[in-house]
Amino acid sequence: MEGLQLKNEFDYSDKDFWDISRLVTEHSGIELPESKKSLVYSRLVRRLRTLNIMRFSEYYELVKADLSKGNEQEFLTLINAITTNVTHLFREHHHFDHLKEHLKLLSQTQDKINIWSCAASIGAEPWSIAMVVHEFCKENPSCKVRIIASDIDSEVLKQAQKGVYEVNPENVKANPYLKKYLKLEKTEDSNSPLHHSLYKISDEIRPYMEFRQINLLHNWQKEFHSKFDFVFCRNVIIYFSKQTQKQLFEKITEIMNVGAYLYLGHSESLLGITDDFENQRQTTYKKVR
Ligand SMILES: C[S@@+](CC[C@H](N)C(=O)[O-])C[C@H]1O[C@@H](n2cnc3c(N)ncnc32)[C@H](O)[C@@H]1O
């Protein structure tokens, strides 16, 4: 019917969207262009319902007021709702092959190795690193390896710490690391369309791992007492503006050793961002100065 417009359940104007968009960019670096307007609405409605708030403007004021008092809790809930935490074990496998090869080379000159997974989401990335590290440490027991897994979102970090994942048993069988270090918790539900079973990360690979909540936009450099040899910064900078990416890599450069490796996500690059790294191969960079 001409002229009939579907009305949103909650009041949501262009101004509400841009207020939220600015707040998110200012405090997390995540850019929300106009194309994300309906996504923001659909990802946040449930939260407004829970809080019994009828207008996005009211929700924005609530988050802003909390932030100005130094309380980040609701802001993190907002970030959790709008970001994509998609990840899986051994995503972009070539990075883990590179890590395996270079752990071996590095251990010829040093006996302590530090690795950071800086947008770890629910932990599939750092646990995949830990599997490779554990295999390496069994062969090289004098080398001490530490993995720090961090994310802005405390909820995903809780899941990461649990280390429980739904995986297709065929994929577990096909990957020697998963076969060894995933323990079956619950067999697939025959009604599940994906035929996934529930697996838990084995206890033997847990000692390498330390979890921390870190917002990449903040100044976290002094939190680390030693420099890193490998940094996984994958599938997070796509959300940031070029300017935010430049500022982030200035800080990342500070906490990496010369000769250390940086891994980015499949659609990310350092082109026009920093000259401190040399591209080695697909999305794999070496710090050269
Ligand atoms: C798509 S996941 C990437 C997971 C993993 N690195 C991978 O490639 O499979 C993106 C993650 O970045 C996190 N993130 C977004 N902005 C962030 C920020 N400012 N500081 C730290 N983490 C952030 C999100 O919470 C989310 O868990």
Output the CATH code of domain 93-161+205-287.
Answer: 3.40.50.150
Average pLDDT over every residue of 116-123? 97
| Domain 14-82 sits in CATH 1.10.155.10 | yes
Spatial CA neighbour of 275 closest among 244, 246, 234: 246
Surface-to-core class of residue 166, CB atoms within 10 Å of its CB (0-12 exposed, 13-18 middle, 19+ buried): middle
Common-topology check for domains 14-82 and 93-161+205-287: no
The residues carrying an active-site annotation are 43, 151
The string of pLDDT tens digits covering residues 37-54 is 999 999 999 999 999 999
The string of pLDDT tens digits covering residues 128-176 is 999 999 999 999 999 999 999 999 988 899 999 999 999 999 999 999 9
CB contact at 8 A, 273 and 243: no
Spatial CA neighbour of 267 closest among 222, 237, 231: 237
Surface-to-core class of residue 264, CB atoms within 10 Å of its CB (0-12 exposed, 13-18 middle, 19+ buried): buried
CB of 91 closer than 6 A to ligand 1? yes
Average pLDDT, the chain: 94
Q: Whose CA is nearest to atom 9 of ligand 1?
A: 87
Question: For residue 1, what pLDDT is reported?
Answer: 42
The string of pLDDT tens digits covering residues 49-72 is 999 999 999 999 999 999 999 999
Strand, helix or coil for residue 230:
strand
pLDDT band with cut points at 50, 70 and 90 for residue 190: low
Residue 20's Cα: distance from chain center in Å?
22
CB of 76 closer than 6 A to ligand 1? no
Q: Answer yes or no: is pLDDT of 2 > 50.
A: no
CB of 83 closer than 6 A to ligand 1? yes
DSSP conformation class of 189: P
Q: Answer yes or no: is pLDDT of 75 > 60.
A: yes
The string of pLDDT tens digits covering residues 194-219 is 778 999 999 999 999 999 999 999 99
What is the spatial distance between Cα 139 and Cα 154, in angstroms, rounded to a whole number?
A: 34
Q: What is 12-25 written as a DSSP string?
A: --HHHHHHHHHHHH
pLDDT band with cut points at 50, 70 and 90 for residue 84: confident
The whole-model pTM stands at 0.92
Q: Answer yes or no: is pLDDT of 103 > 80.
A: yes
- Report how far ligand 1's centroid is from the alpha carbon of 202 (Å): 24
pLDDT band with cut points at 50, 70 and 90 for residue 6: low
Q: Would you list the domain boundaries of the chain?
A: 14-82, 93-161+205-287
CB contact at 8 A, 32 and 244: no
